[in-house]
Amino acid sequence: MIRLSIVIPVYNAEQTIESLCRTLIDLYGERYVLEIILVNDYSRDSSDVICRRLHEEHDGVIRYIRLAKNFGEHNAVMAGLNFVTGDYCVIMDDDFQNPPEEIATLMEEIEKGYDVVYSYYDAKNDPFFRNLGSRFNDAMANLILKKPADLYLSSFKIMNRFTVEQITKYPGPDPYIDGIILRVTAAIGKVQVRHSRREQGRSGYTLGKLVSLWGNMIVSFSLIPLRFLGFCGIILTLYGIALGVDRLVALALTSIPDPSDLEITQASDAFFRGIQLLATSIVGEYVGRIFLLSRQDPQYIIRDALTGRKYPRVMRPTEHQEQEYHDHSA
């Protein structure tokens, strides 16, 4: 039988996670060798209690990982991927907006030979703000990640074992799963699925988190900002040459009134100071991320790992590093 893993990042999902897990077990428990990995990204409700109870009731099927603090969705997914043992791995949300029945659709598509299959929707039942953010994220990915324009980077996707192993090799403290996937493989498929309306709770994505995600995409997976600054440098050089020629012509022709030195100084000073601040901030962002990478900040820190009797825990190299970091910090 095919081994199917399902990674679910959990954040304040006390109203949905139990029903979701039971539905997944009912649908796929007999069809596949099923493994559900719940990664609690420091929920502030009773998700921890519910996830522990689910693990106890379904030991050998449900594995539970609790992170020491809120690291974000992509870091939580990365933590779950490091525990995956299946031939295929589905990543889905904890709120039923990804219908469990559609996993069968993803499985059917990836068995055609793809490494990854993304879902896409005819219509999304998200608030206007979230849909607007998704469209902006899609446009950014087209420009920065060279994503095919017809590919939607949905959080609801399936990948094979090869892709999981390649993704978990990424060492950076701020992983962007879709950016890593586009670096790993071009064998990417897509399939249309339903998108359900959120029945309970509210999205954990805020404007600040979306902006952070976009910034991570730009700085961690692209040199476009640096190349843009280089282009600005060329334009400024040409502007300086033109300004110098204009000054020479003004001095040679007495009929043209000269601008005052104060006007020239104020305009050029404000302009160049603004460019310098912009360049400093972007270069500083790159240097800061290099510093974080050299410092080996962890992608996540696991407080508890309930892996069950059926799947004994095997420490991966990244987990050894995290434990060393934790011990050193202590």
**Within 10 Å of residue 179's Cβ, how many Cβ atoms?**
21
pLDDT, mean of residues 275-282: 75
Identify which has the larger pLDDT, 23 or 255: 23
The whole-number pLDDT of residue 232 equals 77
Strand 62-67 with 302-306, pairing = antiparallel
pLDDT, mean of residues 151-172: 94
pLDDT over threshold 90, residue 132: no
Does 241 share its domain with 107? no
Identify which has the larger pLDDT, 145 or 45: 45
pLDDT, mean of residues 272-277: 73
Does 60 share its domain with 101? yes
The whole-number pLDDT of residue 252 equals 73
pLDDT, mean of residues 213-222: 67
List CB contacts of 231: < 8 A, sequence separation 6 or more: none
Q: How many Å is the maximal CA-CA distance in the chain?
A: 92
Task: State the pLDDT confidence band at 213, using cuts at 50, 70 and 90.
Answer: low
Residues linked to residue 305 through DSSP beta bridges, in sequence order: 65
Does 46 share its domain with 180? yes
Q: How far is CA 7 from CA 27, 92, 93, 256, in A?
A: 16, 7, 9, 72
Whether 228 maps to a domain, the answer reads: yes
pLDDT, mean of residues 84-112: 96
Could you tell me how far CA 6 lies from the centroid of its own chain? Answer: 17
Whether 217 maps to a domain, the answer reads: no
How many CA within 13 A on the CB side of residue 272? 10
pLDDT over threshold 50, residue 178: yes
The token pair at 283 is: 């270069």
The whole-number pLDDT of residue 76 equals 97
Distance CA 219, CA 147 (A): 16
pLDDT over threshold 80, residue 33: yes
pLDDT over threshold 90, residue 29: yes
Task: State the pLDDT confidence band at 13, using cuts at 50, 70 and 90.
Answer: very high
pLDDT, mean of residues 273-284: 74
Task: State the pLDDT confidence band at 272, using cuts at 50, 70 and 90.
Answer: confident
State which residues form the domain around 324: 3-205+300-329
Q: Provide the Cα torsion 136, 140, 143, 144; round to 10°.
A: 180
Highest mean predicted confidence (pLDDT) among 170-174, 255-259, 316-320: 170-174
Does 291 share its domain with 314? no
Does 23 share its domain with 71? yes
Whether 189 maps to a domain, the answer reads: yes
pLDDT, mean of residues 309-314: 45
Distance CA 29, CA 137 (A): 35
List CB contacts of 65: < 8 A, sequence separation 6 or more: 37, 38, 39, 40, 79, 80, 83, 302, 304, 305, 306
Residues linked to residue 119 through DSSP beta bridges, in sequence order: 191
Helix (H, G, I), strand (E, B) or coil at 187: coil
pLDDT over threshold 90, residue 277: no
Mean pLDDT of all residues belonging to the chain:
81
Q: Global pTM? A: 0.75
Highest mean predicted confidence (pLDDT) among 13-17, 125-129, 146-150, 314-318: 13-17
Total domains, the chain: 2
Does 79 share its domain with 138? yes
How many CA within 13 A on the CB side of residue 175? 25
The token pair at 186 is: 């071009």
